[in-house]
Amino acid sequence: MTIYERARAGEPIDKRSDEYQAVAVPELKRSRTLCHRINMLDPYDPKVRELFDELFEGRLPATSNILTPVNIDRGATISIGENVFINWNFSTVSTGSVTIEDNVQIACNVQMLTANHDYEDMMVLHCEPIVIKKGVWIGAGSTIMGGVIVGEDAVVAAGSVVTKDVEPFTIVGGNPARVLKEKPHKE
């Protein structure tokens, strides 16, 4: 298994290890450098899209759009579906992987954090993936923590801190996020 597969599976990752230094650190540098270049361009410069394509290694669908500025630590561990819109100031710590399925809307200032430090050894990371299912809307300033699955057609209210799975067709809000109400199912 690769270091990212092990991180996704919840295996502790030691940042001092040779594999972390050989794989994860270069990807961090590559992604941060590309984000810096993206963020320095005029937001409507066609080179922005070219650099996003490079950041996501050709996996960003033409139907999806991300506004600048961004802070994405590892483009290689993020998967974005069709018809996704991500507003400005999207930030990730994606060692454990982030999957964003089709037709997702993400407002400004959203964070997705898949890694946490071991409290006894800060050089060890505990990672869990984040999965955002189809049709989700995540409100401005929300934080999604590692290990969370946001279910299909759910809504995360602005400013929420999501620490547990969100059921499909629910609206959650608060810190920590809790169910506010059910959302009608689309037929």
Which residues belong to the active site? 117
DSSP string, 61-87: -TT-EEPSPEEES-GGGEEE-TT-EE-
Nearest to 7 by CA among 145, 124, 162, 163: 124
Residue 153 CA, chain-centre distance (Å), reads 17
Determine the Cα–Cα distance for residues 171 and 30; give it in Å rounded to an integer: 36
